[in-house]
Amino acid sequence: MTVTLSIDGVSVRVPAGSTLLAAARAAGRHVPTLCHDPKTKPFGGCRACLVRVEGEARPVAACTRPVAGGMVVRTDDAAVRALVTGIVQLQLSDHPEHCTACAASGHTELHDLAAALGIGADNPFAGRRREQPTEDTNPFIIRDFSACIACGKCIRICDEVRGVMAINWQGRGFGLKVAAPFDDVLDCEFCGHCVDICPTGALREKLAEGLPAPDRAVKTICGYCGVGCGMLVQVAGNRVVRVTAEHGNPSNDGALCVKGKFGYDFGDHPDRLGGTGLKLGATTGERVAAPLVRDGDGFRPVSWDEALDRVAQGLLGIKRAHGPRALAGFPSAKCTNEENYLFQKLLRAGLETNHIDHCTRLCHAASTKGLQMAFGTGAMTNATDDFALADVVFAVGTNTIENHPVSALKLKEAIRKGTRLIVADPRRIEMVEWADIWLDLQPGTNAALLLGMLHVILAEGLADQAFIAARTEGFDDAARAAARYTPEFAARITGVDPQKIIDAARLYGRAGNAAIYNGMGITQHTSGTDNMLCLTNLALATGNVGRPGTGVNPLRGQNNVQGSCDMAGVPAELPGYQPILDPAVRAKFTGVWHAGIPDWIGKTLTEITDAALAGEIKGLYVLGENPVLSDPDVTKTTAALGNLDFLVVQDIFLTETAKLAHVVLPGTTFLEKDGTFTNTDRRVQRVRAALAPPEGALRDLDIIQAVARRVGLPMDYDGPEAVWNEIRQVWPDVAGIGYRRLEEGGIQWPCPAEDHPGTPFLYADTFPIGRGRFHPVEFIPPRELPDTDYPYMLTTGRWLLHYHTGSMTRRSRGIGEALPEGFVEIHPDDAAALGLAPDQPVTVRSRRGTITVRALISPRSRPGVVFIPFHFAEAAANALTNTALDEKCKIPELKVCAVHIAPAPEP
Amino acid sequence: MQRPPDNYPRIFVGTGSCGLAAGADAVFEAAKRFVRGAGQDIHLIRTGCLGMCHREPVVEVLIPGRPRVIYGDVTADGVAELLGRHFSPVGPEAAGHTVGQRTADAESLPYPDILPIALHPFFAGQAPLLLARCGVVDPHSLVDYEASGGYSAIRRALGMHPKEVIARVRRSGLAGRGGGGMLTGDKWALAAAQRDTERYVIANGDEGDPGAFSDRTLMEGDPHAVIEGLMIAAYATGAHRGYIYTRAAYATALHRLEVAIAFCRKRGYLGEGIFGTGYDLNLHIRKGSGAYICGEETALIATLEGRGPMPEEKPPLPAVKGYLGHPTVVNNVETLVAVSHIVGTEDDALAALAAKTKLLSLSGAIARPGAVEVPMGTSLREVIFGIGGGVAGDRRFKAVLVGGPDGGFLPEHLLDTPVSFAALSRIGSTLGSGALVVVDDSTCMVALARYFEQFEADASCGKCTPCRVGTVRLVERLDRIIAGHATAAELDTLRDLCGVVREGSLCGLGRAAPNPVTSALRHFGDDFKAHLEGYCPTGACTTGEDAP
């Protein structure tokens, strides 16, 4: 239904229920606002948007007034303009005369409006100002209350969009203030959304204080997680002043998280490889901006030519002496599609090895394996946008709010609009507060829980028989396997109340559209693939595949882990999930590459480590990965990498892995490169360089090409676009995605042609393997369970503020300051039994290693289970974790092992 | 509770807030001692307030067969003697504490020499209909309420189609008594017409104007009538849940409403299938936390939802999109009591009468302060000088603040204005809550305007800029005038400022916030002029050289 009205003499048709402001903007009329944000409910406080509506005695606030047919509106009424001038003068009368906040922040919406109204320095309504001291206590956000105009946007964004409610109004009238609870200092998630939308600079980025005004803004994609947030990087010279969120990008539309908003300055850290701040050891104090080569126990700087020559010699020497199967490479889920593509091309076509794998093995190998087995492709079936389309969301082992904070906003919005949420997680994470049902399972018992749910769905007739008959196969075997998992039996294994298992099964089974989202809570187990198959069984049994708001959706961890998998940073495929054993596929690639491709399946990440330890693999090229910290059992990984004849690491920091290298090649951050990332929604997005690399670093794409040329593989692309165009040639699913189209915004593959819009969800009509496959699953307990020697169960994961092995976030000024060290989260009952005080150092020991870390006593963990984030090298969770593998996909059991805990001895 | 037979003599002690403040509890205890020692069965009853604030504590005595006699200014020490005389063959005294006798009941034998209250100047000009039970019945008693016709209106309504109920209220011409003046029937019809069938009704008892207490009088004296009105509103609009929203400071009113609701639930008048019909209704009491703005319906709804008290722009009206986003009718307490009278009668003339009275709260420099009810159209002069007895003491009348600070001040020459929303609105005032605060000639109008403007500034929620900042600027400028520091040109700035706040503010409170200043400027310009010349005409202000 639409409504027609007249605005400044122009007839406008807008949807019924629109506001006058929306209608005016649709008519191309500028109506100023200070308190309006399209993402929040209309507020109507600032009164800058007053307009005249014919037949009404008083001026009307355009932002709050719904349109009505036949309305005659004037936005240019002189009396109303005079009134608004008076209102803005009143506003300025309670605003610092020479507002340093406005000057410093670069936000001047208030002053722009004053200038537009012709308001000068002389204020007829001058009077006393509020005196509220500026708060400067956290590393991210300065709160300058004197500049606040009480527009309330920060409060509404924090509540209505972020779902955090860290701030609210306090007091009233002239003393009205935006306050944290009890008017204490701000202590929130520090997503910085409020800073982005503050119209006066009352909220400012602390990291930007004292920096010059930006001279340009570069649109690019965040380099942290798989959400793929669009961001605008404001740069002065070659330095980032601030980062703001891109509006209109479907991945984030105006939102960022603390990492994207404030975690951008790690590239300036003195530890930066190739930067002028790097010092090699305290003894020399020599600053080096160059590649490094091993020199005894340390390193010495060398020229790029020398470094690249050494890399080529090292790799070719091993290839000559031991054959190509003695070489391996780890590409990077942090690097661009183009870099990953060239890297695997270098290894396959140049060095003739398929021993290629990367950290995806540690995160979602089970997801991709399970999805491939059930549906045929290893990607999210739907997208994070589908939260809004689902009637029920089943979140299994995903701490979305902390690990994909911006996607979680879509989930929160969906919940506000009626979507129901089931959470399966052993810890009382924040997701639980948003859930209808919390399945608080014992770690490692996912399959029993999910089999229990399948049992209820089948027993209560909630299965979609028509879908099962038409589109699936193997149902009977899967149903038979689930038969003995009654809710009571599942409850005994999982520790979850059987009624909750029944309730969850009913909620999921009866939903019109039910979507499953999973994280690593379900994949990082020896039963990881089976767990995933339990999820695909649930989706197939209830017909929840192939429609919007349904499917099975692994939320990918790294900014480009989807892309690094798409680009075949894995041992058995060529780019685009094309099997490497298929001669036709190899022939196609050979035709484009003009080089042979080895016809055997390479080793997986953990197998490469084993082979290095065994001396079978002697040379390894690591691109931007930190396996020492990210892989299970630090001791073993360190020994394996130390056993190599030649290790080359290309990275931005001297990571724990790089310290073991023979040659270290200084690469570039995501802010210094061009190319594309593919987010967890399969959305390919354009990455643009905002900064020049430091003096001693080279762009990764150039390094890979230089190495390729030196090992005899001609590579001379004219930039990333040329690389991408080759990818489009070999992988039909992205053939329609050109750089020119990406200027308009990201596109979700499959997109086979230039006029194809992209694909928001998969399997509408058919599966690549024909029918969806059920798989019978049995519950298998984790490999290592607590016993008398190691009485506690350890589970690992991430924490909102930090990212993965911390190499980026811990070198970002703000984040590093906010959460500088690791901890073990332990339940108050266990802490009491161990006699632990808050923050007390404790020794955590497993069969593989020992770390000392502070105790964070919290009821988030369950009794008997402790949690350690894996961000901190000095307290590395993966010193403790188990290397036992899932046989099907080779993912290690990072989520469950047994540990012993004791107060640390006095130093 | 066993109810004594009707042929017992009865003593009524007025225990509204005004009576309690004047010592009614002690009087009640003393009366209780008298009853114990009286040697006969006497029923002692607490009532609400009959409106005579100026004579509290008030006690009434009824001996079957004789009229009720009203005593005022009763003390705990004196009540035994007074009662002793009443029950003795001597009978009630003709003067002193005696206010008058209720002679409405023709069968009772009047006392000679005692003024029938119809002839008492305080009551003579009144038409107590909504207030009729206040001070007369036991507010807790369902029996008293039903004996005086209570809950017959809702029973009638339940026998009608909701649309008929709305039509009935529409036909009466009842307009909202909270100050907005929207026709109640129209408001209900709007809510009932919404497609969204989850609807709510709210009784607004968050009376906050300085000098307003008539809603409190109703809630304390006749709580069942408020509940019955809300029941009718709920039935008519198809709501199944309602709230009575009252200031937490109205402890007595809250208690009486709670008791009344509890009785209703017990009797099946609330809950599932009320009055034996298939209609379900639950009512709940919610306490406001004392912010003036909570009386504004959208701010009230915001606090019900757990948000801070900030008004929302209208439209959309709450009847379209209110509590939790659903159609919500918010009616003032007085409106709802009128509804129970209007729907309770088949007589259209009587219904129209009920729709056309107004409760007023008289206070300030007036001889007989109290809660009164007059037919609309009565002049302010009749109210103030007739019912109210004129200015207290030997001062002269200077101004009356009508409808709280938002209504502004009226001078003597406008006192012939009738009590009516339209007439007062025409002269730039508002009937609003019906509070009349009389000001005598010892008062400086600049200082008083400043006092009430400070009230407005303190009451501002701060949501919109004109009200949040503008009211503070008004106070600052009045301070300069009071101190004698202002120039004549500043009066123009003051007027401009009033205009920005009035035209630019979001809610009714903000738009009316400059009224104390604008009305004082308009009608008492001489007081301002004197300050510009360096002196205060009343000597009340420190002006000129002595000013800070």
CA-CA distances (angstroms) from residue A560 to A247, A381, A683, B243, B245? 21, 17, 10, 54, 55
Give pLDDT, residue B2. Answer: 53
Sign of the dihedral defined by the CA atoms of residues B235, B237, B239, B244, in that order: negative
Fold of the domain spanning A2-76 = Ubiquitin-like (UB roll) (3.10.20)
Closest-CA residue of B relative to A65 is: B315
B449 and B435 share a domain?
no
Instruction: Out of B309, B316, B468, name the one closest to residue A66 (CB).
Output: B316
Inter-chain touch B469–A94, beta carbons under 8 Å:
yes
Do A199 and A34 meet the contact criterion of CB atoms below 8 Å apart? yes
> Considering only A305-309, A811-815, B237-241, B410-414, which range has the smallest mean pLDDT?
A811-815
pLDDT exceeds 70 at position A890: yes
B375 and B486 share a domain?
no
Instruction: Out of B312, B458, B493, name the one closest to residue A173 (CB).
Output: B458
Q: Which residues of A182-216 are buried (b: 16+ CB within 10 A; e: fewer)?
A: eeeebebbbbbbbbbbbbbbbbbbbbbeebeebee
Rounded to an integer, what distance in angstroms lies between the CA atom of residue B460 and that of residue B478?
18
Report which of B230, B231, B239 is spatially closest to residue B198, judged by C-alpha positions. B239
Last residue of a domain, one of B319, B335, B351: B351
Give pLDDT, residue A304. Answer: 95
Domain residues for the domain of B449 are 445-546
> pLDDT tens-digit profile of A216-240?
999 999 999 899 999 999 999 999 9
The tally of CA atoms less than 13 A away on the side-chain side of residue B464 is: 31
Closest-CA residue of B relative to A174 is: B468
Inter-chain touch B457–A172, beta carbons under 8 Å:
no
> pLDDT tens-digit profile of A13-51?
999 999 999 999 999 999 999 999 999 999 999 999 999
Inter-chain touch A65–B313, beta carbons under 8 Å:
yes
CATH fourth-level superfamily of A376-554: Dimethylsulfoxide Reductase, domain 2 (3.40.228.10)
Three-state SS for A344-408 is HHHHHHHCCCCCECCCHHHHCHHHHHHHHHHCCCCCCCCCHHHHHHCCEEEEECCCHHHHCHHHH
| Structure-model confidence comparison of residues A808 and B191, the more confident one | B191
To the nearest 10°, report the CA torsion of A672, A675, A680, A682.
Answer: 170
Rounded to an integer, what distance in angstroms lies between the CA atom of residue B212 and that of residue B178?
11
Q: What would the DSSP string read from start to end of B18-64?
A: HHHHTTHHHHHHHHHHHHHTSSS--EEEEE---S-GGG-S-EEEE-T
Do B337 and B130 meet the contact criterion of CB atoms below 8 Å apart? yes
Q: With bands split at pLDDT 50, 70 and 90, how would you rate the model's confidence at A819?
A: confident
CA-CA distances (angstroms) from residue B279 to A344, A468, B142, B168? 73, 46, 21, 20
Report which of A176, A150, A154 is spatially closest to residue A165, judged by C-alpha positions. A154
B45 and B89 share a domain?
yes
Q: Sort out which chain A residues have CB atoms less than 8 A from B301's CB and list them.
A: none
Instruction: Out of B315, B462, B465, name the one closest to residue A90 (CB).
Output: B465
pLDDT exceeds 50 at position B1: no
> pLDDT tens-digit profile of B86-132?
999 888 888 789 999 998 666 788 898 899 998 999 999 898 899 99
Rounded to an integer, what distance in angstroms lies between the CA atom of residue B256 and that of residue B144?
14
What count of other Cβ atoms lies within 10 Å of the Cβ of residue A1?
5
- Residue A797 phi, psi (nearest 5): 175, -155
Question: What residue ranges of chain A are covered by domains with CATH 3.10.20.740?
Answer: 2-76
Q: Sort out which chain A residues have CB atoms less than 8 A from B465's CB and list them.
A: 45-47, 87, 90-91, 149-150
Inter-chain touch B476–A127, beta carbons under 8 Å:
yes
Residues of chain B with pLDDT > 70: what percent?
Answer: 98
Give mean pLDDT, residues B194-208: 96
Rounded to an integer, what distance in angstroms lies between the CA atom of residue A739 and that of residue A658?
34
Report which of A445, A432, A553 is spatially closest to residue A495, judged by C-alpha positions. A445
Let me know if residue B136 belongs to a domain: no
Inter-chain touch A83–B471, beta carbons under 8 Å:
no
Rounded to an integer, what distance in angstroms lies between the CA atom of residue B68 and that of residue A586?
110
Closest-CA residue of B relative to A129 is: B469
B405 and B434 share a domain?
yes
Residue B182 CB-density burial (10 A; 0-12 exposed, 13-18 middle, 19+ buried): middle
DSSP 8-state code for residue A837? P
Per DSSP, chain B holds a count of helices (H) and strands (E) of 22, 14
Give pLDDT, residue B81. Answer: 94
Confirm or reject contact between A85 and chain B (CB < 8 A).
Answer: no
Let me know if residue B130 belongs to a domain: no
Give pLDDT, residue A107. Answer: 53
DSSP 8-state code for residue A160? I
B300 and B189 share a domain?
yes
Across chain A, mean pLDDT equals 91
What count of other Cβ atoms lies within 10 Å of the Cβ of residue B422?
11
Let me know if residue B129 belongs to a domain: no
Q: Sort out which chain B residues have CB atoms less than 8 A from A45's CB and list them.
A: 463-465, 506
> pLDDT tens-digit profile of B37-84?
988 889 999 999 999 999 999 999 999 989 999 999 999 999 999 999
pLDDT exceeds 70 at position B546: no
Give mean pLDDT, residues A52-60: 94
> pLDDT tens-digit profile of B279-335?
999 999 999 877 888 889 999 999 999 888 999 998 889 999 999 999 999 999 999
Residues of chain A with pLDDT > 70: what percent?
Answer: 98
Let me know if residue B68 belongs to a domain: yes
B454 and B431 share a domain?
no
Angle (deg, nearest 10), helices B223-237 and B162-172:
120
B-interface mutation test, from A87, A122, A149, most B Cβ less than 10 A away: A87
B213 and B274 share a domain?
yes
Last residue of a domain, one of B440, B474, B505: B440
Last residue of a domain, one of B422, B440, B458: B440
Q: Sort out which chain B residues have CB atoms less than 8 A from A155's CB and list them.
A: none
Question: What residue ranges of chain A are covered by domains with CATH 3.40.50.740?
Answer: 313-362+560-748
Give pLDDT, residue A438. Answer: 96
CA-CA distances (angstroms) from residue A188 to A85, A184, A404? 36, 11, 17
Which residue type occupies A109?
Answer: E
| Domain A792-903 annotated CATH 2.40.40.20 | yes
Instruction: Out of B460, B500, B511, name the one closest to residue A87 (CB).
Output: B500
B433 and B461 share a domain?
no
B330 and B379 share a domain?
no
Rounded to an integer, what distance in angstroms lies between the CA atom of residue A573 and that of residue A585?
9
Report the CATH number at residue B301.
3.40.50.11540
Give mean pLDDT, residues A289-304: 90
Q: With bands split at pLDDT 50, 70 and 90, how would you rate the model's confidence at A368?
A: confident
> pLDDT tens-digit profile of A837-865?
999 999 999 998 888 999 999 999 889 99
B177 and B199 share a domain?
yes
Residues of B in CB contact (< 8 Å) with A are 291, 293, 308-310, 312-313, 315-316, 457-466, 468-473, 476, 493, 496-497, 499-500, 503-506, 511
Report the CATH number at residue B432.
3.10.20.600
Give pLDDT, residue B545. Answer: 64
Inter-chain touch B457–A174, beta carbons under 8 Å:
yes
Report the CATH number at residue B535.
1.20.1440.230
Q: Sort out which chain A residues have CB atoms less than 8 A from B499's CB and list them.
A: 83, 86
Q: What is the CATH number of domain A313-362+560-748?
A: 3.40.50.740
Closest-CA residue of B relative to A153 is: B463
Angstroms from B503 CA to nearest CA on chain A:
6
B331 and B233 share a domain?
yes
Question: What residue ranges of chain A are covered by domains with CATH 2.40.40.20?
Answer: 792-903
Closest-CA residue of B relative to A150 is: B463
Do A897 and A794 meet the contact criterion of CB atoms below 8 Å apart? yes
B223 and B344 share a domain?
yes
The ipTM value here is 0.91
Report which of A426, A390, A741 is spatially closest to residue A553, judged by C-alpha positions. A390
A-interface mutation test, from B468, B478, B490, most A Cβ less than 10 A away: B468
Domain count, chain B: 4
CA-CA distances (angstroms) from residue A891 to A181, A524, A780? 44, 6, 15
Let me know if residue B436 belongs to a domain: yes
pLDDT exceeds 90 at position B464: yes
The tally of CA atoms less than 13 A away on the side-chain side of residue A196 is: 25
Assign A322 to helix, strand or coil: helix
Rounded to an integer, what distance in angstroms lies between the CA atom of residue B350 and that of residue A534?
74
A-interface mutation test, from B289, B307, B324, B503, most A Cβ less than 10 A away: B503
Q: Sort out which chain A residues have CB atoms less than 8 A from B309's CB and list them.
A: 172
Instruction: Out of A46, A47, A169, name the one closest to residue B308 (CB).
Output: A169
